[in-house]
Structures are given as C-alpha cells and as structure tokens.
Amino acid sequence: MAASSSSNVNNEANISEQQGFVVVSWNVLHLIHEINHTYDLSPVINRYSIKENWSNEQQRLNDIIKTLSDILVKYSSIECFICLQEVPGDLLPMLDVMIHAHVGPVLINKPMVHVRSYPRVPTTRRGPRQPLYINPSESLVTIHYNPYVADANKPVDNRMGATSTLLNDRAYWTQCPCDPGKGALSIVTSSGLTVVNIHVPFKEQHAMSLLNSLHWPRQDTPFVLVGDINRQASAFMHMIQTVTNGKPSAGLLCSIAPDKPTRVGLEQDGTLKKYSIDHYLVSASLRNLTTAPALVYDNIGDISDHFPIVLQFNSM
C-alpha cells in the first residue's frame, strides 16, 4: 500500500469527479478446481491438453497474462480497476513482471496490486502426478491504476495532468465465515469510491454468511461490487435486498449484468452450456454514469471457464 500523504484529498476527489473509470472482472480459474470437478467436461483442459501434460498449465498462465496486458493497455488512459478471482500463486510474480514492463512505456505510474490469499490451499484429488503449481495458493487480486494521481515511489509525470496527490488505497479483507476458499477484497480510494472484488459461494447459506459480513455503504456513496457471483443477477439481487433490509443502503444498490453469458462448460453429452453468473452491483449514484450493459470479452477462447467482463463509468 502506498505511504500516507499530507496532500489535499479533496484535490483527488475533484479529479475523480472530472474523470471516468472502468472496472474489469475475471475469474482466471485455479486449474486444480477444474481438475477436481470437471476433469472430463472442461473446454479449458481440452484446449491446453492438460490430461496429456500438466505442465501445459504454464502456457495457459502465459495466455492469461497476455489478455490482462491487453486490457491494461487498452484502459491505460483512465482510472482502472482489474478484479481477479481464483488467482493461482504461480500467476502472482507473472503479474508483477507484466505490470513493471508497462510502467514508463504505457503506464505513467505503477499500479497498486492488492492480494489476499485464502486460508484454504487447493489440492488435487487425482492420483500422484507432478505438481501443477510451484505455489498452489489461491487469491483474490485487485489491480488499481490511476494516471491522474501520483505513485508514492515515483516522480510525478504530468503527461496526463497528474497531481501531487498519492494513490493511497485502503484495503479490507472479508473472509467467508463458512467457506475458507471464498471472500471479498474491498478497496476504498482516497476519493471515497469503494470497489469490492468478490467470489460468492455457490451454496446459498454460505453466500449469505459472506454477504452479511460485508460493510455495505451507509448512504448512496460511490460503490461497485463485482466478481464471480455464482448465480444469475436476479437471484443475487434478491439476496442483496434481504441482506441490506433495514440498512442505510437498502434500495440504493442496482444490478448491472452483461448482455452475454460469462461462463462456459460442457454438458454430460459434450454440448456447450453457458451461464451468466459474473455481474455488477453499483450504487444508485453511479447507475446513470455507466455504459451498461457490461461488455464480455468472449473472443479470447477457453483460457478460463469465465470470460472477462468490463463496465465503464463516465465522468462524475
């Protein structure tokens, strides 16, 4: 996290009011889950011939990095949040290398990378093989880049009109009480914007336990929640209404779903099945600023069982 700053926070707030931002979400897939649960019905395992050679996972990780690199470059002119779920430990140093490579040529300053790892470390249930990962841990990762504020460790580059205000995020971790492999990573910027990167459990009781543990906005402050929701938007919205009932945020949160399916898999007969289970929850104050519906990057092929989704917010 960046060092604290004595700079005028209101200055950054004014910048945020003038500039838009984008929130990207992608469950990149921890492949151990795919091996354990859909080994014979996985487009990802088929594409990378994982059954023949587990070391082919490295090529998939390379493809993930290339996709994330393209996304980061595409949105490098505005404030950008990239929220990742199911991040394997081996991908973490690769993310760091990718980000460092873009600082200077493309990025004005170094993005903040917030990482929170689950207490549960996935293990394969199949017979003894070579290890799939050197570091099999699983994490939520949020990358935050803002060209309009300064990195604490670099001189200010005024190409984009950056100010002396530091990129000074506050990060909060919410572990699911019932599932050691699910949680939420909340980032609060100095301007007051909250972005929550969440992986919601499939079981409703577990999902409700996580949602009840979150700190919901006390009023109609700028708020974005996104991630692998594991259910359709209508079902999730019903849960949100239950969780926020009687709270200041009740009725002030809106669902924004992509216009295409966000997850793919195979039926028992080998036919393709598609789901829409990755979507956004935004505060009413931001609803009219979005370029809804959210975009789905479904042209990347079967790198993961989920596609990246993108929602852009216009100037506030």
The rounded percent of the chain whose pLDDT value lies above 90 is 78
- Residue 153, pLDDT > 60, answer no
| pLDDT given at position 95 | 98
pLDDT of residue 151: 59
- SS3 label, residue 313: strand
pLDDT over 70 (residue 158):
no
CB atoms within 10 A of CB 215: 13
Residue type for 209, please? S
Positive or negative, the CA dihedral 40, 41, 43, 45 is: negative
- What gap in Å lies between CA 109 and CA 162, rounded to an integer? 10
Q: Tell me, what's the pLDDT at 155?
A: 44
Residue 168 pLDDT class (50, 70, 90 cuts): confident
What's residue 166's pLDDT?
Answer: 58
6: pLDDT strictly greater than 70: no
Two tokens, residue 135 = 């570091």
Report how far Cα 95 is from the mean position of its chain's Cα atoms.
14
What are phi and psi for residue 72, nearest 5 degrees?
A: -65, -40
Mean pLDDT confidence for 188-211: 97
Rounded mean pLDDT, 283-306: 95
Express each pLDDT in 79-132 by its tens digit.
999 999 999 999 999 999 999 999 999 999 999 999 999 999 999 988 657 789
Q: What percent of the chain has pLDDT over 70?
A: 87
Residue-averaged pLDDT of the chain? 89
pTM: 0.90
**Architecture in CATH of 12-313:** 4-Layer Sandwich (3.60)
Q: What is the pLDDT of residues 37-71, one digit of tens each?
A: 999 999 999 999 999 999 999 999 999 999 999 99
pLDDT category of residue 316 using cuts at 50, 70 and 90 = low
